[in-house]
């Protein structure tokens, strides 16, 4: 019991002393600030602990650096994924933009064609978009989104932007089937198609038919050996008048077809020249076309 009482007293004394010491230090701290005994204690504590603090910092720094590096790597990964997403979106937007730009360029060229071409001045026309293209060895047709409701009739010629040519547009083909809101167009590359054509600026006439051995190129056939034809001459449709064989042409005169790219004479005994014509139109990327309403609808 006595031991317990003594212990109690000792405890109270110790705690009281510590409380008094704390309060004294606090009071001195307020009165002296960083001067005097308090300042000395603080400077001493700093001096003693500084080397240990420095050592601790040196020890922990590699871990901190490793942590920062790891978290940075994680951040870099997530940022990389985010940037990839943004790049994919930007690429998609770029593709759309290029597509719109391409369509605008095509529209622009068709507009120039309608403003500068005599053929466009002679006939009414309607713009259309290609909705379907079925190119194969046996059938070269496209479907456009205008039909009889827009005044389109079977036999109407269809032109499309002509790449880099100054003529702005070139012959694509002829309407073969018409529904109220769509039309099927047989391309001049179709094996069953033949177009009465002439070399611009001269009297040379012939028939442009697809070259069976060279897809995308036309042969200007039935041009006599005596005629003078040179490469880079423009070939246009010959007109509605009957040709030498007495066949009625189906397309009006003056629609650009293509450029003469080669003239050959394989055999002196051959009656006709061999003339290759490269169409102005890129048939692989048909988007916008113009239907010339040549055929009068009842």
Partner 1 sequence: MAVFVLAVLQLSAMPQLIPGSVTPDLLVILVVTIALARGAEAAALTGFAAGVLLDAMLVGRLGLTSLLYMAAGLWVAYRVEPSDSVVVSPLSPMPRPAVQLLYVVVATAIVQVGLAAAHVLLGDGYPVSFELFNVIIPTIVETAVLALVLLPLLRRLFPYRTRADGYPIAA
Q: Give the nearer residue to partner 1 in terms of CB position, either 33 or 212.
A: 33
Q: How far is the CB of 43 from partner 1 (least distance, A)?
A: 9
Q: Which is nearer to partner 1, 59 or 268 (CB)?
A: 59
Q: Are strands 256-264 and 234-237 parallel, antiparallel or unpaired?
A: antiparallel
Q: How far is the CB of 83 from partner 1 (least distance, A)?
A: 25
Closest approach, Cβ 84 to partner 1, in A, equals 28
Q: Are 209 and 272 in contact (CB under 8 A)?
A: no
Residue whose CB is less far from partner 1, 21 or 134: 21
Count of residues in the chain: 298
Residue number, 51 or 213, with CB nearest to partner 1:
51
Report the residue number, 19 or 83, with the smaller CB distance to partner 1.
Answer: 19
Shortest distance in whole angstroms from residue 27 CB to partner 1: 8
In the complex, the smallest distance separating the C-beta of residue 103 from partner 1, rounded to whole angstroms, is 53
Closest CB to partner 1 among residues 60, 99 = 60
The nearer residue to partner 1, 60 or 91, going by C-beta atoms, is 60
Minimum CB–partner distance for residue 88 and partner 1 (Å): 33
Where does residue 208 rank: exposed (0-12), middle (13-18), buried (19+ CB within 10 A)? buried
- Residues 287 and 273: their CA atoms lie apart, in Å, by 35
Given the rule CB under 8 A, which residues bind partner 1? 1, 3-5, 7-8, 10-11, 14-15, 18-19, 21-30, 34, 38, 41-42, 44-46, 49, 52-54, 56-57, 59-61, 63-64, 67
Least CB distance from residue 69 to partner 1, whole Å? Answer: 14
Q: In angstroms, what is the minimal distance from the CB of 72 to partner 1?
A: 13
- Say if residue 290 is exposed, middle or buried (CB neighbours under 10 Å; 0-12, 13-18, 19+): buried
Q: Which C-beta is closer to partner 1: that of 22 or that of 177?
A: 22
């Amino acid at each position: 019991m006595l031991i317990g009482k003594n212990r109690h007293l000792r405890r109270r004394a110790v705690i009281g002393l510590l409380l008094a010491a704390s309060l004294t230090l606090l009071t001195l701290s307020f009165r002296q600030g960083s001067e005097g005994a308090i300042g000395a204690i603080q400077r001493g504590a700093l001096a003693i602990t500084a080397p240990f603090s420095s050592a601790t910092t040196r020890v922990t720094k590699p871990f901190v650096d490793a942590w920062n590096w790891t978290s940075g790597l994680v951040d870099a990964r997530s940022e990389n994924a985010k940037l990839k997403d943004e790049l994919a979106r930007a690429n998609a937007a770029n593709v759309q933009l290029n597509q719109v730009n391409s369509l605008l360029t095509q529209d622009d060229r068709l507009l120039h064609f309608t403003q500068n071409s005599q053929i466009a001045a002679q006939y009414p026309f309607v713009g259309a978009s290609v909705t379907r293209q079925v190119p194969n060895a046996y059938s070269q047709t496209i479907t456009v989104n205008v039909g009889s409701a827009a005044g389109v009739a079977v036999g109407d010629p269809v032109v499309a932007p002509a790449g880099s040519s100054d003529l702005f547009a070139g012959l694509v083909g002829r309407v073969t089937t018409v529904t109220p809101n769509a039309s099927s167009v047989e391309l001049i590359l179709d094996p069953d198609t033949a177009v009465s054509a002439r070399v611009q600026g001269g009297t040379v006439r012939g028939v442009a038919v697809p070259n069976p051995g060279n897809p995308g190129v036309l042969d200007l056939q039935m041009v006599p050996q005596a005629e003078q034809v040179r490469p880079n001459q423009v070939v246009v449709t010959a007109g509605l008048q009957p040709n030498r064989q007495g066949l009625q042409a189906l397309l009006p005169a003056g629609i650009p077809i293509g450029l003469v790219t080669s003239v050959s004479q394989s055999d002196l005994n051959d009656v006709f020249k061999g003339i290759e014509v490269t169409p102005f139109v890129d048939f692989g990327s048909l988007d916008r076309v113009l239907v010339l309403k040549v055929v009068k609808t009842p």
